[in-house]
Amino acid sequence: MFQIVNHPHPVLRYVSRPVTEIDDGLRETVRSMFELMYAAKGVGLAANQVAIPFRFFILNLGADPAQADNEQVFINPVITKRHLAVEDEEGCLSLPEIRGDVRRARKIRFQAYDLQGKLVDYEADELFSRAVQHETDHLDGKLIVDHFEPKVLREIEPKLRQLELQH
């Protein structure tokens, strides 16, 4: 049903629209996205990575379907504070085989709705913080390559061209 879209699919560059209704259809979509994310061995997946233009993403930082209690869904997330920028390597399911250093806040505060429609405040650091920022970037039409230094972009240019040819 769903598949992960790769760069340069245009949906990856659109700003996602807010979710206005949390219903059984959204819950089924979320379940399908978790299955797809696990199959791709990812820790997170934004809705627009499966060509759904709405503001939500999923995470399981353990990337383990056996740890379903670690599954999290974030609907209409808003980052309210960022602290202490650090640089670390990231990859992306929509940019297979491309990795590079991305500078992000080490610690953030954010709000999002859960699947029950409850607004929740979060504090996140380390991998949780990085994953939330990465997936929120997706919802804003940004990719990790937008954060790469020019030297790194030149190095990965052949891989980006290959993805464009496959598209």
Give the up-direction half-sphere exposure of residue 89: CA atoms within 13 A in the CB hemisphere.
5
d(CA 2, CA 65): 18
pLDDT at 84: 92
Q: What are 56's strand-pairing partners?
A: 75
pLDDT band at 38 (very low <50, low <70, confident <90, very high): very high
| Confidence (pTM) | 0.95
d(CA 94, CA 51): 11
β-strand 99-113 against 56-59: which pairing, if any?
unpaired
Asked if the model's pLDDT at residue 99 lies above 80, the reply is yes
Active site residue 135: yes
> Of 87, 90, 123, 135, which one is the catalytic site residue?
135
pLDDT band at 167 (very low <50, low <70, confident <90, very high): confident
